[in-house]
Amino acid sequence: MTASTAVVLLTRDLRVHDHPALATTCAAFDRVVPLYVLDPALAGLSANRTRFLHQALADLRVELRERGGDLVVRHGDPVAETIRLAGEVGATAVALSADVSHYARRRERRLRAECDRHRLHLRLFPGLTVVEPGALQPGGGGDHYRVFSPYHRSWAARQWREELAAPDRVALPSGVRVGGLPKPPPGESPDAAVGGERVARQRLTDWLPALHRYDDQHDDMAGDDTSRLSPYLRFGCVSPLTVANSAGDRSGPFVRQLCWRDFYYQVTAAFPDISTAAYRRGATERWRYDDDALAAWTEGRTGMPIVDAGMRQMRAQGWMHNRARLITAGYLTKHLGQDWRSGVAVFFRWLLDGDVANNSGNWQWVAGTGNDTKPYRGFNPVRQAERYDPAGDYVRRWVPELAGVQGKAVHQPWRLPEALRRTLDYPPPLSVPGTDPVWLR
């Protein structure tokens, strides 16, 4: 009897634990070929994420080899390379984790058409979210939830799928060429986290004892007591279901953040233009386009310490504290009046966890064009800084020019005595024509 063979096309699911596509395929077929295709169309989007990706692929190869398999690596168009490999190994089926972005959906459509043409069975699997994007729909009509709170209630009450163990064995066809992994590039952020499933699972294990402090500590910018799992979730180095199950309480503040992640996936599934077009019907967009102001914000030299601290943390680590993301995004859009799309692009370049759904969805929320039920709200950066960095330690860590300024005075250096201000190598706050922010008075 001829052995059955299938290809599992890996995308943003770089793990072996709780991987529905891989686990189900290994159970159903004699031989399974895990494939990752390095697509030139995605090259150059983010040096930080490319480095993280290559580290995660190297780690995944180790995990697969421990189970008797390997990671097959190809370069080129993912659809063409999948079909070519299926022909080389005599596969009859292809498995793929479903995704929601324009790029992912176009890839899926093309792959389905090519599988049909070559008489290959294509099956899509869940796994990138806790609850599949199309699984929950509002009772009053509509194809998705536009407001978070009712979505969260439905999400928390939903019966989740069963978490799956890693396959005991992954059997490759004999003679398949696995291909070499490229050396990880240096990236742009010197202190960026290392990618990989084993790192992700260890990080989750190490952080869980601090879970009970999350509600009190997650907004403490200097304390830096968040899980830092977001890059690993973005690349699927750890399953979001595993993280949610490990945390327990579905209504708790930490699991609620995982629900926000799912929320934006279902929004993006219904509105795939989320990175380029205003989501909220009737949103008014009147933006200023000031390249100098955008550059100052990007480089962390706006003269607003809490904003500059956040931007410098992102450039150094490829990650930014969530509260700092709200403050920096609000400053760019509501104070500088800059187009949120410019902010999306900057974050997408630097952030290890930058993805279409959450990066763009959160930017639109802050800019007032997205899912916020109070679209005209603003973030006073001084008030935010004094509340969430009361001693000024976060600012002094990332803005060393202000290291000698004690206490919360560090948040408003323009109010310091003139003699002291002259000793600081730090710019005055950016001025915006026609505005008089209350925090600068």
Residues at the annotated binding site?
A: 214, 226-230, 254, 257-264, 353-355
Distance of alpha carbon 166 from alpha carbon 140, whole angstroms: 40
State the DSSP H helix or E strand holding residue 32, giving kind and residue range, or none if neither: strand 31-38
Note whether 301 and 427 are within 8 A (CB): yes
Distance of alpha carbon 43 from alpha carbon 49, whole angstroms: 10
Name residues whose C-beta falls within 8 Å of residue 77's C-beta, 6 or more positions apart in sequence. 37, 39, 41
CB 435: neighbour CB atoms within 10 A? 10
Note whether 7 and 91 are within 8 A (CB): yes
Question: Phi and psi of 261, rounded to 5°?
Answer: -60, -50
Handedness of CA 153, 12, 361, 101 (dihedral sign): negative
Note whether 272 and 100 are within 8 A (CB): yes
Q: Which residues are annotated as a binding site for FAD?
A: 214, 226-230, 254, 257-264, 353-355
Of 91, 88, 84, residue with least CA distance to 114: 84
DSSP for 171-218? -PPTT----PPPPPP--S-TTPPPP-HHHHHHHHHHHGGGGGGHHHHT
